[in-house]
Amino acid sequence: MASTLFTKMLLGQRLIHPYSFLTHQPQILSSLFSKRLFCIRAVPVSAYTSQNIKTTGWAPCMASSSVGRRATYSTQSVSTNEPVVSVDWLYDNLKEPDIKVLDASWYMPDEQRNPIQEYQVAHIPGALFFDVDGIADRTTKLPHMLPSEEAFAAAVSALGIENKDDLVVYDGKGLFSAARVWWMFRVFGHDRVWVLDGGLPRWRASGYDVESSASSDAILKASAASEAIEKVYKGQTVGPLTFQTKFQPHLVWNIDQVKKNIEDKTHQHIDARSKPRFDGAVQEPRKGIRSGHVPGSKCIPFAQLLDSSQTSCGTGVTACILALGLHRLGKSDVAVYDGSWTEWGAQSDTLVDTS
């Protein structure tokens, strides 16, 4: 059986280089390659800029974004083994007909930032808005869980996305919620998707233009995507589909699989939260959630792979960053536990260990 890593992390931190958290301590992730893995999503809460992250000797295959350099790749030259592209590459390929750019910005509630309003003020020219909270399962109270295949197909079709499209996803923090959307498309069988290194902050810092659109076609499409999701879950007919899904079950686990793994021990569970939360030494930030960790877990705090970060866990975004990083190191079968600690810690019948 192929190795899998369960990783679902909540949003909340500004990560500029998707490869920087790997290169800070690459041996941590490299040491996992001999094991079958799954990880709980973690939520970093501190702000990040490109100046916060150390430079190292590791060289990204397609992610160099030094100002003044220009990529010379065609869209077909981009490998799906390298899930990151630079702002220079995107600038040179932005007008390619089969490239669609998605603004997948999402922010923690306590940040008091509105992603759709920020999109309207400034976004990469031609970018569509992907609503992380909106394109989600409407049958659960857990935040932004994966929608059904039918719902996802309806929503992205409403955005005008087709299976032939090459997708580049970015967010307003640098690298945060974009990794979640990268993972979502891969779960539904679309591998030609990349994350923009540094996101909108690096795009703007590199001197590239942004556009505003208080009432644009993209806003109408975002509304149409939300309406399509609602119709699917209400059993109503939706418009014609331009995107067909092909679900990849090995990339996502549910709570029953995690429970079974405690007994079977076929996969290594990796918890990306902070050590105090993993140990149960501090209370969870969400009410009604127990402290501690899944029995048999190993704690690899996301903060250890970065500089000066604080990490927590909850609803499943930053674990996707870990999945993205492992993908860059050649481990493309990384899976995410979609319910994460928000689900596990709230259940009365799930086992919880503390140190």
**Concatenated DSSP letters for 251-284?**
GEE-HHHHHHHHHH--SEEEE-S-HHHHHT-S--
The CATH code that applies to domain 84-234 is: 3.40.250.10
**Candidates 39, 61, 313, 320; catalytic one:** 313
Tell me the whole-structure pTM to 2 decimals: 0.78
Of 237, 110, 133, 236, which Cα lies nearest the Cα of 181?
133
Flag whether pLDDT at 157 surpasses 90: yes
pLDDT at 308: 34
d(CA 337, CA 256) in angstroms, rounded, equals 10
Q: Rounded to an integer, what distance in angstroms lies between the CA atom of residue 297 and that of residue 79?
A: 33
Which amino acid, residue 225?
A
The mean predicted confidence, pLDDT, of the chain is 78
Site of tokens 């079974």:
260
- CATH 3.40.250.10 occupies which residues in the chain? 84-234, 253-308
Q: How far apart are CA 248 and CA 266, in angstroms?
A: 19
* Structure confidence at residue 352 (pLDDT): 95
Q: Running DSSP on this structure, what letter comes out for residue 299?
A: E
- Does an H or E element contain 100, and which? strand 99-103
Q: Tell me: domain 253-308, CATH 3.30.465.10, correct? A: no
The whole-angstrom separation of Cα 21 and Cα 35 is: 20
How large is the average pLDDT for residues 97-120? Answer: 91
Asked if 313 is an active-site residue, the reply is: yes
pLDDT tier at 78, thresholds 50, 70, 90: confident
Task: Render pLDDT for 195-247 as a digit per residue (tens, 0 to 9).
Answer: 999 999 999 999 999 999 766 788 899 999 999 999 999 999 998 999 999 99
Nearest in space to 166 (alpha carbons), one of 112, 88, 97, 216:
97
**pLDDT given for residue 70 in this prediction:** 44
Distance of CA 24 to the CA centre of its chain: 20
Side-chain-side CA neighbours of residue 326 (13 Å): 33
Q: Torsion-angle region of residue 175: left (phi > 0), alpha (psi -120 to 50) or beta?
A: beta
How is residue 192 annotated by DSSP? -
Average pLDDT over residues 136-154: 93
More confident residue, 37 or 316: 316
Dihedral sign for Cα atoms in the order 35, 41, 47, 49 = positive
**Count of other CB atoms within 10 angstroms of residue 302:** 29
Segment of 24-28, 73-77, 161-165, 281-285 carrying the highest mean pLDDT: 161-165
Q: What is the pLDDT of residue 33?
A: 52
Q: pLDDT: is 23 or 341 the higher one?
A: 341
Alpha-carbon Rg for the chain in angstroms: 19
Residue scoring higher pLDDT (37 or 65): 37
- Parallel, antiparallel, or unpaired: how do β-strands 128-129 and 268-271 relate? unpaired
195 contact partners, CB below 8 Å, separation of at least 6: 18, 83, 84, 85, 168, 169, 170, 175, 178, 179, 182, 324
Residue 108: pLDDT above 90?
A: no
Q: Above 90 in pLDDT, residue 162?
A: yes
Q: What integer pLDDT is reported at residue 51 of this predicted model?
A: 30
| The predicted structure's pLDDT at residue 187 | 97
Flag the least confident range among 105-109, 118-122, 181-185: 105-109
Strand partners, 353: 293
Say what the pLDDT of residue 215 is: 64
Q: What is the signed CA dihedral for 94, 127, 77, 181, rounded to 10 degrees?
A: 170
Q: Cα(126)–Cα(123) distance, rounded to whole angstroms?
A: 8
pLDDT tops 70 at residue 118: yes
Only one residue has tokens 């009432």, namely: 215
Looking at residue 322, its pLDDT comes to 78
Average pLDDT over residues 147-166: 97
Instruction: Read off φ and ψ for residue 78, nearest 5 degrees.
Output: -80, 125
